[in-house]
Structure 1
Amino acid sequence: MSAGGEHLKDEGTRRQVVLAGGIAGLISRFCVAPLDVVKIRLQLQIHSLSDPVSHHNVSGPVYKGTLSTMKAILRQEGITGLWKGNIPAELMYVCYGIIQFTAYRTTTQALSQLDPYRLPPSMESFVAGAAAGGLATASTYPLDLLRTRFAAQGTERIYTSLLSSVKDIARNEGPAGFFRGCTAAVGQIIPYMGLFFATYESLRPPLSQFQDLPFGSGDAAAGVISSVLAKTAMFPLDLIRKRLQVQGPTRQLYIHRNIPEYRGVFNTMGLIVRTQGVKGLYRGLTVSLFKAAPASAVTMWTYETTLRRLQDMEVAAS
């Protein structure tokens, strides 16, 4: 991206955007996979000493904090435990990155043709980001659900492989089983990505003029700040999505045995608030922000760098 404030719509061919988006998603996911597993374990944990036994005859919380959760997973499941669900997650991130950046580029190009009724730049970014996020989320949602279920498994495996998990869900839960919690996911991602891109496009031009930023570049710094703000605002829906994703016949077989039965977004939100208070909607927020910041920095830096390299290669070849 140029430092002059132009949008993604003006930069890169469709092929370049697809390649840059896919590479950005692939690299970003691998880097933050351990934090993602920790986040999912904490989001699924029910904090109440009166709850049924959760795991290994432990009543109440199994994990206490980000570092202790990571240490517990390493001790009980080995280092590979921190990358559980990485195959469906990598597939999801690559597909998501391709769809997201392509849709964002296409939407902003379409919005730029609305003269004399063109929206303000920040509103264009919000609309394009929301549309791109909603489309990418709905398209890749089954992979997101599989990622969550694999990450929720402890030492006792429910699914032995990606193929077996697909067959098992299709057989026991039907096609709808792959879309448990999809309403919460789309309801979260549309405002999340709208806020993210609107903030990112506003911050990137001024930040690009500063040297020696803590995250290495204006693109990365803008991505971190935008991600933290948007993630905090929309986190309750992300937690609800995770709780709904592990519903079904395998609900009581995961690392947390005491996950309640939830039905629908509002029912889930109401039940969590009644039993755990408002703070129950923010379980795992700290590690989520630890994950979101580097993930967004790596994603946006990789995307921008890859796109520039692809453009330079094309110019050199012509």
Structure 2
Amino acid sequence: MARVDNSCLKTVVAPLERLKLEYIVRGEQKHLLELIKTIAVTQGLRGFWKGNLVNILRTAPFKAVNFCAFDTYRKQLLRLSGNEETTNVERFVAGAAAGVTATVMCLPLDTVRTKLVARGGEALGGVVGAFQHVIRTEGFFSLYKGLVPSILSMAPAAAVFYGVYDILKSAYLHSPEGRKRILYMKQQGAELNAFDQLELGPVRTLLHGAIAGACAEAATYPFEVIRRQLQLQGRASKLSSLATCAKIIEHGGVPALYAGLIPSLLQVLPSASISYFVYEFMKIVLKVE
């Protein structure tokens, strides 16, 4: 279900992802509008979609594993606790566990994408060539460089992403307006179309998804910057996560840990909202409890 929207969605927001990586991976110092103009002049429109294929290959299974794992972990925690409804703690724990699961499974593709976007990535010969180059020159396990900061980043990010959405959803459904909507849906039953069967309604589903995505991105963005820098390091210049963080701050100060945050948020808002909308919609279409 979660894979349905990702290819089109990632292609649409790929220019924002490209801009974010320019700040993180290449240490770009230009203002956002100036950077957009530079890429357009030097690489043309196609430059904004550089690395998009591998991003789609990474994101589709990543999102699918994330959503599936979250529902699985949440149901298991609910069963173990014996509660009638998932608690906020269980929501955050299930989200964190889902993020870790997806990260471990999909990190190699993310590492390859980082290599392709970095300087000299054009010479690697695409996705397959980049895989071969990394394994040949740095070894198989180098595909998991940055695993620790990735987990440290994804665990709280997924916890916030799923936790905030679930809390907002639960708060609405327990409100007078939410109870009225649920009652209406029960009375109408099968007469409602799939859009009208959304518990939050289309607009609120999109809005809550966007809020959850923005909260998760802003809360954990420095880990993303550190992870990208670790993925670029060769054997000779390999530093620990803490040393990499210190180096980033030394060269650019604390704001350097948030380099590219604005284009990242612009990307996350539609991505998170549409992801949740499609996820909720497809659960209704496929009649998944």
TM-score normalised by length of structure 2: 0.83
The answer to whether the 8 Å contact 1:231/1:289 transfers is yes
Alignment of 1:153-168 (within 5 A): 153=119, 157-168=122-133
Give the AA of the match of 2:128. Answer: L
**Is 1:98 matched up with 2:64?**
yes
Indicate conservation of the 8 Å contact 1:192/1:230, yes or no: yes
Mapped pair 1:193 → 2:158: yes
SS state of the match for residue 248, structure 1? coil
Report the equivalent of 2:258: 282
Question: Which residues in structure 2 correspond to 1:146-225 (within 5 Å)?
Answer: 146-153=112-119, 157-205=122-170, 217-225=203-211
Distance 2:215 2:242 in 1: 23
* Partner Cα distance (2:24, 2:84) in 1: 41
Residue 48 of structure 2 is matched in structure 1 by: 82
Counterparts of 2:215 and 2:142 in 1: how far apart (Å)? Answer: 32
Deviation string, structure 1 residues 169-224 (Cα, Å, up to 9, x no partner): 1110101221121211111000111011111111135568699xxx9611111111
Identity fraction in percent: 27
Distance 2:50 2:122 in 1: 11
Match of 1:247 in 2: 233
Q: Name the stretch that deviates more: 272-281 or 232-241.
A: 272-281
1:4 is matched with none
2:57 and 2:109 in contact (8 A); partners too:
yes
- Over 3 Å counting, the alpha-carbon distance change for 1:105 and 1:300 in structure 2 is same
The residue type equivalent to 1:169 in the other structure is V
Q: Which runs of 5+ in 2 are unaligned?
A: 182-200
* 2:106 equivalent to 1:130: no
Is 1:293 aligned to residue 279 of structure 2?
no
Q: Quote how far apart the aligned CAs of 1:25 are.
A: 2.9
Number of equivalent positions: 264
Q: CA deviation at 1:143?
A: 0.6
Counterpart in 2 of 1:236? 222
Normalization by structure 1: what TM-score?
A: 0.76
Bigger helix fraction: 2
1:115-170 alpha-carbon deviations (Å, 9 max, x no partner)? 3478852112111111111110110001111122222347x722122111111111
Distance 1:68 1:304 in 2: 39
1-side partners of 2:104 and 2:167: how far apart?
A: 27
**In angstroms, what is the RMSD of aligned CA positions?**
2.5
Q: Return structure 1 stretches of 4+ with deviation > 6 angstroms.
A: none
